[in-house]
Amino acid sequence: MAAAPSKKQQELQAIAEKIGEIESDADEHRLVIKTLSGVQEKEPERTCFRLIGGILVEKTVKEVLPTLETTYEGVRSQANANLQLTKVLVDLAKQYREKELEMQKIQQELGAQKGAP
């Protein structure tokens, strides 16, 4: 019975780490988008490089910026979904602990009644 809360705690930790990764990715995307937006106004044909699947690809700012903006929105959506999942898991873990305490209390009361003369 004690293993279930521990497992839930590990699941929560894993989700929290994933949320951290996603938020970090979103921050990086936001920073690059901000930088490239300024460049696009002045030099839309300027060369920039993008890492795609481990391969460095040469493109122009005007080609890369729309893709980055779309990816950024997707990353933000994923972070929000993971945050919602974490909240649900936290609520479920809390409910589980409450029920577990209720069960222990009932077991103690039953044990005390058996021991009473």
Chain center to CA of 14: 9
pLDDT score at 106: 84
Average of per-residue pLDDT across 31-37: 92
Chain center to CA of 45: 35
Q: What angle do CA 48, 53, 58 make, to 5 degrees?
A: 20
pLDDT score at 54: 92
Whether the CB-CB separation of 22 and 75 falls below 8 Å is answered with yes
pTM score of the predicted model = 0.60
pLDDT score at 81: 82
Whether the CB-CB separation of 43 and 62 falls below 8 Å is answered with no
Query: Which pLDDT tens digit goes with each residue over 78-112?
Result: 878 877 877 887 887 788 788 888 888 888 888 77
Query: Which pLDDT tens digit goes with each residue over 52-87?
Result: 889 999 999 999 999 989 988 888 888 788 778 778
How many residues in total does the chain contain?
117
Whether the pLDDT of residue 2 is over 70: the answer is no
